[in-house]
Structure 1
Amino acid sequence: MMLTEVTAVPGAALPVEALKEHLRLGSGFALAPAQDGLLESHLRAAISVIEGRTAKALLERRFEWALAGWRDPVEQALPLGPVARIAAVTLVAADGGQTVVSPDSYRLEVDLHRPRLVAAGMALPLIPSGGRVVIAFDAGFGLGWTDVPADLRQAVLLLAAEFYEHRHDDGSGQAGLPFAVATLIERWRAVRLLGGRGRR
């Protein structure tokens, strides 16, 4: 199984100004000029960490998930939520030939923690022997930063500020998330998307 981010979060959607304000309030010092690029990189890193810990896409974008077989012939849990739409389901044969599956043969079961691709009939389409299926889908809370839940927004700012303020460290410091960040994201980690059978 392989999950690929097809479209990146646009720079304009990142809360660079909010992070600047947060750093000034938290540290009491003026930021060096022309640091927007550095702050953006810390925000992207923080978003990546939060998304990895919660299995939630914060800002909406396109993903592709390739897998060699269904865990359940009737429904397949998706690896990331919340999913807004299924863009395409494509069967890829061992020789590379591709067949786009009719959208009439499946539907999206919307769920914040465990979205699923569900067969419209008796079963999901048969994956070719030695081949794979590629599911393209759009996941995220929305296109704008204010669409992201407030606790996750705060967690990103806190973690990005941590990255910024320790940017010159040699990496030998304490591992793991800061306590405040871990607390903010805890409720979003309650149900993990494991891609398994049934509705755990």
Structure 2
Amino acid sequence: MMLIEQTPVLSAALPLAEFRDHLRLGTGFADDAVQDGVLERALRAALAMIEARTGKVLLTRDFLWRTTGWRDASCQALPVAPVTSLVSLQIVDRVGDAVVIDPARYRLQEDDFRPRLVATGGILPQIPAAGEAEIGFQAGYVAWGDVPADLAQAVFMLAAGLYENRDGNSEDVFSGAIETLIARFRTVRSLGGAR
């Protein structure tokens, strides 16, 4: 299985002004934007770390997920949440020939933790030996204001730690407070989405 991020988070979607306010950086100076590059890198790193620990995509982007087999013939849990739409499903054989599956044969079962690709006609298309299924989907919250407040706070706290300790000579910036903020969003993956 492989999850590929098809589109990056756009710089315009990042909450740079809110993060600057969180850090209480001064404004009104001629060089207000001088730290924007460093702030953006800290935010991007914090977003990636929080997303990796929670399985939540915080800002909308497109993904392609490749899998070599279904956990269940009638549905397949997707690796991240929230998934807002399924874009495509195709079956690729071992020589690379792809068959696009009619969208009428599957649908998205939305869930805040384990969204699923569900067959509408009983079973999902068979994946051939040495082949794979490629599922294109869009995931994430539409805007920063839609991100749950505790996740947003965790991102800002982590980004602030990364910003303040950008020389790399400090203790672990992933504090217990951040772990507490994200705890309810962590997914228990005991069966990988199988029933």
1:46-104 superposed Cα distances (whole Å, 9 cap, x missing partner): 00010011100011110110011111111100000011110000111111111110111
Aligned to 1:73: 73
Task: Kindly provide the amino acid, as one letter, of the partner of residue 44 in structure 2.
Answer: R
Distance 1:93 1:126, change over 3 A: same
Task: Give RMSD over aligned pairs.
Answer: 2.0
| Gapped regions of structure 2 (runs ≥ 5) | none
Letter of the structure 2 residue corresponding to residue 183 of structure 1: T
CA distance in 2, matches of 1:87, 1:55: 20
1:159 counterpart letter in structure 2? L
- Does residue 3 (structure 1) correspond to residue 42 (structure 2)? The answer is no
| Partner SS, residue 167 of structure 2 | coil
Quote how far apart the aligned CAs of 1:128 are: 1.9
Distance 1:32 1:169, change over 3 A: farther
| TM-score, normalised relative to structure 2 | 0.92
User: Where do 5+ consecutive residues of structure 1 fail to align?
Assistant: none
Map Cα deviations across residues 79-132 of structure 1 (whole Å, 9 max, x no partner): 000111100001111111111101111111110001011111121001122111
Deviation at 1:195, TM superposition (A): 3.0
1:1-200 equivalent positions in 2, closer than 5 A: 1-24=1-24, 34-142=34-142, 144-170=143-169, 173-175=170-172, 177-192=174-189, 195-198=192-195
CA contact (8 A) 1:81 1:114 kept: yes
Matched residue type, 2:38:
L
Q: Return the alpha-carbon distance in structure 2 between the equivalents of residues 75 and 55 of structure 1.
A: 19
Superposed CA deviations along residues 139-184 of structure 1, whole A, max 9, x for unmatched, are: 1122x111111111111111000000000133xx434721221111
Q: Share of identical aligned residues, percent?
A: 49
Q: Tell me, what secondary structure is at the counterpart of 1:111?
A: coil
Taking a change above 3 Å as real, the CA distance of residues 19 and 103 of structure 1, as seen in their structure-2 partners, is: same
Secondary structure of 1:34's match? helix
Contact 1:54/1:189, CA 8 A, preserved across alignment: yes
| Cα distance in 2, alignment partners of residues 194 and 11 from structure 1 | 36
Aligned to 1:183, what secondary structure does the other structure show?
Answer: helix
TM-score by length of 1: 0.89
Measure, in 1, the Cα distance between the counterparts of 2:184 and 2:110: 19
